[in-house]
Chain A
Amino acid sequence: MALPNFQVHQPKTVEEVLDLLGRHRSSVKLLCGGTDLLIKMRSGAQAPEHLVSLNRVAGLKTISYAAGDGLVIGGAARISQVGKNPDVQRLYPGLAHACSVMATVQIRNMGTVAGNLVNAAPSADTAAPLLAYGASLVAVERGGRRQIKLTDFFTGPGLTVLEPGEMVEAIRVPDPPPRTGSCYLRLSARSKVDIAAVGVAGFINLDLSGKVIRCRLALGSVAPTPVRCPEAEAMLEGQDPGPELIARAAAACVRTSRPIDDLRATASYRRAMVQELAQRVLTQSLAMARGGGS
């Protein structure tokens, strides 16, 4: 179907973006890569009269890292840009992996990490690793700024706590301490150009004696939203996990998941894969953390 009529605005500053969002409040959407939005508009699922493009907003594509402060990903930073960033590759390998294998080359070149989160698909590939890295979002509106923990961000498929008139200005990811290991594994029927049927991300930080100080595990495509696994995390913290504990923690991840049968996989296969991938993620992350990597 043909696209409905709409007007595109090309603001140059965040303030102008917020003005436009306010002015056209009743029927406005932010546009950056358009890789999710335009599909919805073509299918008639959305018909905004105004599109506010972030593509010319100064500074919004920046990715910066500072030791101690961590990573800041601009709201308009492309997925491929994040995946190729040397700091991301070095310190946030799970995120780098997600950004280099999800969707297709063309979509990664146009789509943004912030857009992937705001679109709030249960299968959003960047969500699970960012949850595991303890990321938060910086949301701005005309009245001011607030920081939203990613764990609090998703409320359902396609739904988030973001208010109308609010935009994601940046994603902040804490600096991983020494003795940290992390990774993201995803499964799909096709090797590339595919949506994940199951995704598991993990982050483990060890103390000097090898015990887990902090563990974060997150799942994609197996619940209405990307989810953290508090039960499994609590089982591991304070422990020096061996294969048996890893298997039990993975089983706790399975309990956290709420997968459905759909055309991409059955719920029982997804549950088995949460177990399998969680074990692999924990084993790999522990090996990295023990190897002294950061």
Chain B
Amino acid sequence: MKTPSIIGQSIPRLDGPAKVTGRALYTNDLSLPGMLYGKLLRSPLAHAKITRIDVSRAKALPGVKDVITGADIPQVKYGNWRLVPQSQDEMALAVDKVRFVGDEVAAVCAIDADTAQRALELIEVEYEELPVILSVEEATAEGAALVHDESEGNVSLVRKIDYGDLEAMFAKADYIREDTFKVHPVQHAYMEPCSCLAASEEGDRVSLWTSTQTPYIVQCLLASTLGLPENNVRVMKVQVGGGFGGKMELRPWEFCASFMSLRTGRPVKFTLTRADELAFGRRRHAMSIYSKVGFSKDGKLLAKDFQVMLDGGAYNAMGPTATFLCGTFGNMLYNYPAYRYFGRHVYTNKPPASAMRGFGAPQAAFAAETQMNMVAEELGIDPIDLRLMNAMQTGDVIPDVATISSCGFKESLEKVRQISGWDEKRGNPKPGKGLGIGCFSFISGGVFNWFNTKYNFSAAEVKVFEDGTAQLATMACDIGQGPDTVLRQILAAELGIPIDKIRLISMDTATTPKADLGTWGSRVTLMNGNAIIEAAGKIKDMLRPVLFSELDLNQIHDVAFEDERVFVRANPKKGMGFAECVYKALRGREGEPLTARGYYTPRNKGLVSPAFSFGAQVAEVEVDTGTGLIRVEKMYTAHDCGVPINKMSVEGQLEGAIQMGLGYALMENLIMDDKGRTLNTTFLDYKMPTAEDMPPGESADVITYEPEGPYGAKEAGEGLAIPTAPAITHAVHQATGYRCMETPITPEKVLRALGKIK
């Protein structure tokens, strides 16, 4: 069957015009009659016992409707790893002690924001300070204070991977090197700060509009922490201004809004500020990484020993998944005859780290790819040749993980070599200029189910109407990345109707089919796309009989759904309009609407992901050796995301990923003092690259067909955020001789390496 023409088209976002003209509604734009304004009181200390809280003066302030502390709420801990209850370590409001600067201590709601703010100032809290732990090294040292009493040595979770004979392979190796790397924390910096609005109804039901990537997870965890049946909690979203992994858990404000709405009977809204987000919000894990690799003298990779400590901050958040995935990303790109991973998730007194675009991979790849470039240099092999020698290919097996069903890695390496002018430019090095490479592989959704959902991983409900239109209902979340458009493209392709004839009902846990695990791990296009294809298939099964009976067709005929017609594939004249077909089918169903549901859960796909993307990126930089300033002149990317469903969307992901990777490598950093207070809480000092910092880019799509993906598609969202930092690091080394082993690369580090600052 040929691929429908709508697949691969650059269809502009259907939500685009409303967003660029300011008409799109975000959670903070919503308001309800009688709505109260919520505010959180946060800990000023990184680690302390709460010895006394007195809320009486706050409660007495006119206009204040409710004040709650940890003592008022059900003592139920939450966390996304429901399958491992001891990993659930968080409460919406601190009980007995605070574990980071910003830990939520109390919440108030009042008739307006100013009154709520004044009420916060009237809450008296006394603390007894405890030793503050700000690094994984301190946390794991002998006799360190415990962030959580239950954790041994502040390690909350250990992940091990071990296959092949590591010792024997290292013994065989002609060349071995050991390195340690440190990577720093950065933040999602989504455009929309977190916001939620809760409205109770009928006493014990609550509706919550929230800026989230994972409505179903919020619904379940909210129900368990409120002590309500799951079905009494309804979670909805309007537009979400970005997430990047930072909005995929139950958050304290979601609980507090719901809890106080149930207590007061009035709607309650919380909206965070940018300063809240930067000072207290989720972030990408800082890590300390040890990596030992062994190679034969001709460049064959033999073994790798990879040991990582993740700085998890005060709570697990999505850290356990990052710990798991970091090990998996440590061996995804190349064939390792022997591989050992030892990952530890470590508690510290910092704001919790969690998922962030790449989910453990940007850190793992920074170390692995930088080390690969060091090896290439020492062995005198071109870095691209060294990678080609060891690259994963279609059909390769990652032990205990998966068989790679499609892989365009080698083609990506060849393409990027060509478009970047790699051989020629490296042959004629120019002072202050350098070319560097970094590569990536990423998952298209996770197979793991630590959340322990009882439902399918993804679901879709399709309805068709006699006017020739359709309705798609799905819990899949568009958080700005584009599935509201892409998923409709897939349905349009399946039913053969234009995309504008499809209405979308998205993300309402009460009305869209159960369930969807949310937007993370680059899972939506593949998983929800497959669910839509299944649902559409069932609809077509209901429509096809109409054609057979109306036209008295031989059962051997294939029926096509294209151009708003249903017809005999071999004889397109024989057929009828799509609308007419639906009308006739409805007539035969005694009023029963034409509705079908489709589901997707990956099966027999190993333990990690049903499909893997691959790619390679080259950065071209110029370094001013007087000031140490680095200008990225151009980025070249070749990547395999399977068959792109929407080219423009893929290009958008690539550009956004380069912006994030650039910031990660060169500018962004959360800077903290020795008391655990974040110092840069504005975008003036949390330096994200601006449009003017963006280098021009050139890219090549390496098209593979992924058998598990809808129309052959796989992920294009997160993988691209991985290679930029190692590519820039390599390029800076080529330009100056400075090799960054501890991110970010700053002008000062460059000058120190050049001996210009002592």
Q: Which residues of A contact B (CB under 8 A)?
A: 1-2, 187, 189-195, 263-266, 268-269, 272-273, 276-277, 280
Flag whether B526 is at the interface (Cβ < 8 A): no
Asked if B748 and A265 make an inter-chain contact with CB atoms under 8 angstroms apart, the answer reads yes
* Known pairs A189-B667, A272-B756, A272-B757; A263 contacts B685 (CB<8 A): yes
Is B232 in contact with chain A by the CB < 8 A criterion? no
Interface string of B270-290 (1 = CB under 8 A from A): 000000000000000000000
Q: Cβ of A192 and Cβ of B690 under 8 Å apart?
A: yes
A-chain residues with CB within 8 Å of residue B679 when the two chains form the complex: 263
Q: What residues of chain A lie closer than 8 Å to B758, measured between beta carbons?
A: 268
Q: Measured between C-beta atoms, what is the minimum distance from A103 to chain B in Å?
A: 9
Residue B687 at the A interface, CB < 8 A?
A: yes
Q: Within the complex, which residue of B117, B631, B666, B748 is in contact with A269, where a contact is CB–CB below 8 Å? A: B748
Interface SS, B side: loop
Bound form: Cα–Cα A192–B690 in Å = 7
Partner of A272, one of B680, B692, B751: B751
Rounded to whole angstroms, the CA-CA distance of A286 and B381 in the bound complex is: 48
Indicate if B376 sits at the interface (CB-CB under 8 A). no
A193/B114 contact (C-beta < 8 A), A263-B680, A269-B751 known: no
Query: Mind listing 25 A-B residue pairs with CB under 8 Å?
Result: A1-B114, A1-B117, A2-B113, A2-B117, A187-B627, A189-B666, A189-B667, A189-B747, A190-B667, A190-B689, A190-B690, A190-B693, A191-B631, A191-B692, A192-B692, A192-B693, A193-B692, A194-B684, A266-B748, A268-B748, A268-B757, A272-B751, A276-B626, A277-B627, A280-B626
The answer on a CB contact under 8 Å between B692 and A269 is no
A189 contact set on B, CB distance < 8 A:
666-667, 687, 746-747
Q: How far is the CA of A269 from the CA of B687 in the complex (A)?
A: 18
Question: Which residues of B pack against A, CB within 8 Å?
Answer: 113-114, 117, 626-629, 631, 666-667, 671, 679-680, 684-685, 687, 689-690, 692-693, 746-748, 751, 756-758
Q: Which 6 A-B pairs have the closest CB atoms?
A: A269-B748, A192-B692, A276-B626, A263-B671, A193-B690, A272-B757
- B687: min CB distance to chain A, Å: 5
Residues of B within 8 A of A265 (CB): 748
Residues on A with beta carbons closer than 8 Å to the beta carbon of B680:
263
A residues in contact with B693, CB < 8 Å: 190-192
A191 vs B690: C-alpha distance when bound (angstroms): 8
Grouping DSSP codes into helix (H, G, I), strand (E, B) and loop, the A interface class, with mixed when no group exceeds half, is loop
In the complex, chain A residues whose CB is within 8 Å of the CB of B666: 189
Contact A273 B627 (CB under 8 A): yes
Cα of A196 to Cα of B602 in the assembled complex, Å: 52
Cα distance A10–B284 when bound, in Å?
49
Report chain B residues within 8 Å CB of A2: 113-114, 117
Task: Tell me the bound Cα distance from A280 to B629 in angstroms.
Answer: 15
- Given the interface pairs A2-B114, A190-B667, the reply to whether A269 lies near B684 with Cβ below 8 Å is no
State A129–B758 Cα separation when bound (angstroms).
30
- Closest A residue by C-beta to B682: A39
In whole angstroms, how far apart are the Cα atoms of A276 and B748 in the complex? 13
A31 CB to closest chain B CB (Å) equals: 21
CB contact between A264 and one of B626, B685, B751 (< 8 Å): that residue:
B685
Cβ of B746: which chain A residues have Cβ within 8 Å of it? 189
* A187 engages B685 (CB within 8 Å): no
Residue of B nearest to A1 (CB): B117
Name, among A195, A272, A277, the residue most crowded by chain B CB atoms within 10 Å (CB to CB).
A272
Q: Report how far A268 CA is from B757 CA in the complex, Å.
A: 7
